[in-house]
A and B are shown apart, each in its own frame.
Chain A
Amino acid sequence: MESIIGFFNDPYINQVLTLTGVYLITALGLHLITGITGQFSFGHAGFMSIGAYTAALLSLHLETPFILNVFIGGLAAGFAGMLLGFPSLRLTGDYLGITTLGFAEIVRIVFINMDITGGARGLAGIPRDTNLTIVLLLAVLSIMCMYRIHNSRFGRALTAIREDELAAEAMGINILLYKVKAFATGTFFAGIGGGLYAHLIQYLNPSDFGVSRSFELLNFVVLGGLGSVPGTILGTTVLTLAPEFLRFVKEYRMLIYSALMVTMMIFRPHGLLGGVNFRKLFLDLVHRRLAQLAKTKDVGGKQQ
């Protein structure tokens, strides 16, 4: 027991785990947009930065409570997502991807050129309020939200849009409105993640939220398996921890990353846990066990 507490109290371990949790919350937002609704967003880091800067600036200038700041950061990102969503979610596939990519770049450039954000020098001195407990709590809460959304009328409408837009519309689903709702909710989670990130790293720089960060987030979601919450958790954990274990290869990290991605595309095109239905797996297992039991009983009966 002592050793377990000691393990989590180790500052390095603690930091890495907290960061994983923060990424997980952000990635769950993207899971809703890309995995559930099927809309590709290449600019998730941009929304993360909106949340991060909003929360950080509130903490620095207004000194309002930390959790409130993070929440407002989430709302700001969600609002930005909604504003971007209405015009751009009429686009599909590649075009939507390009628009979101462009939007994230615009956000980055705006933050570089603003005085209040410290421009390219970055924003320093943010209080370290994020800790493992809060992040874990929020991560569990986010996972619960995802499951509830998935098993609701709202979530089913989103999945219907992913599966077949035309049929979804014929079922009475207002496609654009639901896409925007999903996008706003997803970017809200990105904002929450951003706010937590700011109060963990204590320093923000617009270049932290560039294209590579967006793609990293997309990798988290895709590697684990699009549309699967356990997949997103697995993908985020593996890809956040892998660089820590691979510290000795440092700059070759991206090389391994891409090799991993290509291998994945060949062997598991739907992600590690893509298309795996845990409930069904479990039920099948139980059924098989029962059948086996019944069989052995049968055989036993005949022998007698």
Chain B
Amino acid sequence: MTSLLELQNVTIQFGGLMAVDHVSLKVEKGWISALIGPNGAGKSTIFNMISGLYKPTSGKVYFNGRDITGHKAYKITSLGIARTFQNIRLFKNLSVLDNVRIGRHCRGSSGIIGAITHFPRTKAEEKEIEEKAYEALQTVDLLDKKDELAKNLPYGEQRRLEIARALAADPVLLLLDEPAAGMNIQEKQTLMHMVQNIREMGITIMLVEHDMSFVMNISDHVDVLNYGQKIAAGTPSEVQHNPDVIEAYLGKEIE
């Protein structure tokens, strides 16, 4: 059986800097898989390569057994990989609902002719977009804020809106880039439940996160990066007791 997502010896170089160095990892269907590591370890860079924003210097990315290395980002989204961004990138001046509707873009087909003529087919599609958007907003508990401008939401809700926008694309794999960053403990708890609910909807989740209790509580599998290299992988408890991981985070013990 092929993994849902597989990275084989993926490498990316920015000038002389080896940001990601021959990393191989797998994400199986149904997992909540976490990618952790100190700042600058290359976690977000890996996300950018999976979602097509960066093209790897070498190595392959397989999604559902299909080679998607170097595909354009908009194409990868329509294949079923949706993502959120570490530094929130909402469409700030648009309403919450519009943000999520745009997230649904890759599942629609009507263009400019449909827009002007308002054919029944376009109307039906608009209705479907709206229903899906409502559903996604419901999942992250933002439905009552649908008419607000995205920029007016508090920080934690902006992060949840990003998740709703990604969910609207009906993804198979959802990439969450530091979803809990900047949230307080209660917000993190709510988020954790939401992520678990999303997994129950049949969506596989891969996340980058710095908050260790969040990662350890929620993940089935953890990959650890340091300086662009993969140093460990396994279940949360395995990783926690791995001497290399402890060294990367806390430094070496003096003998």
Contact = CB atoms under 8 A, between A and B. Distances in A.
Interface string A259-303: 000000000000000010000100000000000000000000000
Contacts of B111: 153-154, 181
A248 B129 CA distance: 55
Given A170-B77, A171-B169, A156 B102 contact: yes
B116 interface: yes
B165 interface: yes
Contacts, number: 101
- Most A CB contacts (10 A, CB to CB) among B73, B77, B93, B106 go to B73
7 nearest interchain CB pairs? Answer: A172-B106, A152-B115, A172-B77, A163-B91, A167-B89, A154-B115, A169-B73
B101 to A, nearest CB: 6
- Among B83, B92, B111, B165, which residue has the most Cβ atoms of chain A within 10 A? B111
B74 interface: yes
B85 interface: yes
B77 A160 contact: no
A157 B92 contact: no
A90 interface: no
B94 interface: yes
A149 B98 CA distance: 14
A175 B92 CA distance: 18
A155 B115 contact: yes
B145 interface: no
A157 B106 CA distance: 10
A241 interface: no
Given A153-B129, A156-B101, A170-B77, A181 B91 contact: no
A174 B108 CA distance: 13
Contacts of B116: 145, 148-149
User: Interface size class for chain B?
Assistant: 35 or more
B74 A173 contact: yes
A153 B113 CA distance: 11
Nearest to B89: A167
Interface string B158-183: 00000001000100000000000000
A153 B108 contact: yes
B55 interface: no
A256 interface: no
A148 B115 CA distance: 6
Given A153-B126, A169-B74, 12 more contacts: A148-B115, A148-B118, A149-B115, A151-B115, A154-B115, A159-B94, A163-B92, A170-B89, A171-B74, A171-B169, A172-B105, A174-B72
B110 A160 contact: no
